[in-house]
Amino acid sequence: MNRTLVIMLYFVGPSLVAGQTFTREQIVGAWTAKEISFTKLGGQQPIEKTAVEKSKRGLIGSQFIFRPNGLFLIKLPANAPTEFRELESMNNQMWHIKSKEGIVFVGSFDEDLMTITVKIANGFYYFFIEDTPLILKVEKNR
Q: Mind listing the pLDDT tens digit for each residue in 8-19?
A: 444 444 444 444
- Rounded CA-CA distance 108/96 in Å is 8
Burial call 97-130: b when 16+ CB within 10 Å, e when fewer:
beeeebbbbbbeeeeeebbbbbbeeeeebbbbee
- Return d(Cα 29, Cα 7) in angstroms, integer: 29
Q: How far is CA 130 from the centre of its chain?
A: 8
Q: Give 5-63 pLDDT, tens digit per residue.
A: 444 444 444 444 444 677 899 999 999 999 999 886 555 566 677 878 888 899 999 99
Question: For 2-140, CATH number?
Answer: 2.40.128
Distance CA 39, CA 88 (A): 24
Model confidence, pTM:
0.80
